[in-house]
Amino acid sequence: MKKIKHFLDLDQIKAQELRSILDLSKSYKQGITSGQDTHKGKTLGLIFEKPSTRTRVSFEIAMYQLGGNVTILEHEKTHLGRGETISDTAKVLARYIDIIVYRTSSAKKLYELAEHSTVPVINGLNDETHPCQIIADIMTFEENVGIINNKIITWCGDFNNVCKSWIQASTIFNFKMHLACPKQLINEYEMNKIGKIKNVKIFNVSKDACKNADCISTDTWFSMGQKVSEKKRRLLKPFQVNNKLLSSAKKNSIFMHCLPAHRGEEIDENILEHPKSVVWQEAENRLHTQKAILNWCLKK
């Protein structure tokens, strides 16, 4: 029986497979590969327990462009939100649809759904990781700077799911990860994991982390569903991305933010419009990479 290709976390997929996804993403964007009718008759199910703009819209349009159909299951309107087990939901959905994107809080729930599903499951974000975003980010980086191998990516801000996926990617794609984040926000378990990764270095001062960086990236200080804390805001204030910080990176460096952004908090007011900013290109690339991820999962 053919193994189901789930897209759950970057460290679960071989490096050459991820590179093939990136190559196909670029081919879709450049029009070299159309993708039209590639998966005609296939149906994508989107299960969202959290709000979404880019992930939801990009996957929906991506599947339509591949010739498939989409059904959206909002958590509170399904029996999954009323106590039905994840395993039962997985077994039922597999009788109707061909692939699932699941956005949830719990990584455990994501992996449980995949365990019981006979169709591919894609991680649409959870509290631990956001691999789809990183594929789009690496594509954006390579369009603007070059192949990411041996380059320096600096993350400024909260130690969150996007940051953790960047850390996974650093080993797979062999680039250096400078992490400018308050150590108080990294628990002992995660700190020990980071300590074993030679490509990752933690900095106490954001300017030091950004020196000679090829890319500076950040995200909101308070993830969806997370309680706003003034204590955490004070800890993160020195790690805000501003003009001075961007000027300390390489001349041809870029700035990325996965959005939504909170101007005046994790970024200064005008940073999204900064000449180094590629955030809108980054958002667009979600569409091209989602098409490639869908194709990788569904391709026989």
Bridge partners (DSSP) of residue 7 are 122
Token couple for 273: 């419009």
Say how far residue 54 (Cα) sits from the centre of its chain.
Answer: 11
| 155-169: average pLDDT | 98
Q: Higher pLDDT residue, 226 or 239?
A: 239
Task: State residue 93's pLDDT score.
Answer: 95
pLDDT per position as a tens digit, 189-234:
999 999 999 999 999 999 999 999 999 999 999 987 788 899 999 9
Task: State residue 225's pLDDT score.
Answer: 75
Confidence of residue 81 (pLDDT cuts 50, 70, 90): low
**Cα gap 42→33, rounded to integer Å:** 19
Task: State residue 227's pLDDT score.
Answer: 86
**Cα gap 3→223, rounded to integer Å:** 34
- pTM here is 0.96
